[in-house]
Amino acid sequence: MSSDTVAIKIDNVSKKFTLQYHRTLKQVAVAAAKGHKVRDTFLALDDVSFEVKQGEAIGLMGLNGSGKSTLLKLVQGVMRPDSGTVRTRGRIAGLIATGAGFHPQLSGRENIYLNAAVFGMSEAETRRKLDSIIDFADIGKHIDSEVGHYSSGMGARLGFAIAIHVDSDIFLADEVLAVGDKPFRQKCMAKIDEIRTSGRTLFYVSHSAASVARMCDRVIVLENGRMGFDGEPEAGIKYLHYDDGDDDPGNDESAMGADI
C-alpha cells in the first residue's frame, strides 16, 4: 500500500457510557424514592475525527480518563461508536487489555492458539510461530499451567508475545507495556521500533514523552473525550506540559492508572 493510503479513518465519533451509582435493586429503589440520581451518562469520546495514513506512527496521549483506551477499542472493533464511523484497512493486532481473549481454564500454550485465532491467524501459522512466541513471553514452565493462575505481568507478557507475531497492517500498543520487568519492557520497545520502521501503521498510547518523541512522527492529544491537539510530537508534548517535569522522560516504568 502507498503512503497515501488511509489506514484508519475516524469520522465524528462519539461514545457514551452509563455510570450506575447503586449496585442492588433495593439500593436503586431507595435512592429513586428519595429523589436521588441512580445513574448518569458521560461522553468518553465526543465528536472525534482524524485520519491516519498507512505507515504513520501515531502517539495517542492525554490524561487518564481522556478517552484513549476507548478510542483504541473502537479502532480494534471490540466496541462500536454510538455515532460516527470508524473505518480501518487491513489486519489489526496489538495489546490493549492485559489477558484480553484468554480463557482462564486453558493453559498458556492452548491460549496462544485461541488468542492467535482472534487475531485472524490460522492454526498452521500459529504452529510455525509457536516456539518464537513462547520464547518471547519467557514465562518458563508456566506456559503449560492455567492462565487463570497467571499474574497480570505474566498475562501481559504472553498477550504481547502473541500480538507481536501477528502479520498485521496496524499495530495498537496501550500502556500495558508498563507491566513487567525492565528487560521485558525493553524487548517490547525494540519490537515496536521494528514495527515502526517496517512500514506498518503504529498507534501507540503512552504517558512517556521520551518514548513518544522517539517512536512517533505525529501526536494526537485527547482532552475529556475531545480532540485537543493533532500535530508534531514535540509540540504535542509541550501542549500537555510534559516538558515541565511531570513526566520522567527516561522512564517507561511509571505506573499507569485506569483509563477510559
Q: Is residue 160 included in any domain, yes or no?
A: no
pLDDT of residue 152: 80
| Percent of the chain predicted with pLDDT > 90 | 50
CATH of the domain at 38: 3.40.50.300
pLDDT of residue 222: 95
pLDDT in tens, 39-74: 677 789 999 999 999 999 999 999 888 999 899 889
Q: Is residue 260 included in any domain, yes or no?
A: no
Select the highest-mean-pLDDT range: 19-23, 39-43, 166-170.
Answer: 166-170
Helix residue ranges per DSSP H, the chain? 25-33, 68-76, 108-118, 123-137, 152-164, 182-197, 209-215, 233-239
SS3 232: coil
Q: Is residue 27 included in any domain, yes or no?
A: yes
Question: What whole-number distance in Å separates Cα of residue 63 and Cα of residue 240?
Answer: 9
pLDDT of residue 22: 55
For residue 24, pLDDT over 50 is answered with yes
> What pTM value is reported for the model?
0.79
The alpha carbon torsion through 50, 198, 189, 144 (nearest 10 deg) reads 110
- Cα-flanking dihedrals φ and ψ of residue 114, to 5°? -65, -50
pLDDT class of 253 with cuts at 50, 70, 90: very low
* 41: containing domain: 6-90+169-244
The alpha carbon torsion through 210, 58, 94, 92 (nearest 10 deg) reads -170
Q: How many domains does the chain have?
A: 1
Question: What whole-number distance in Å separates Cα of residue 54 and Cα of residue 52?
Answer: 7
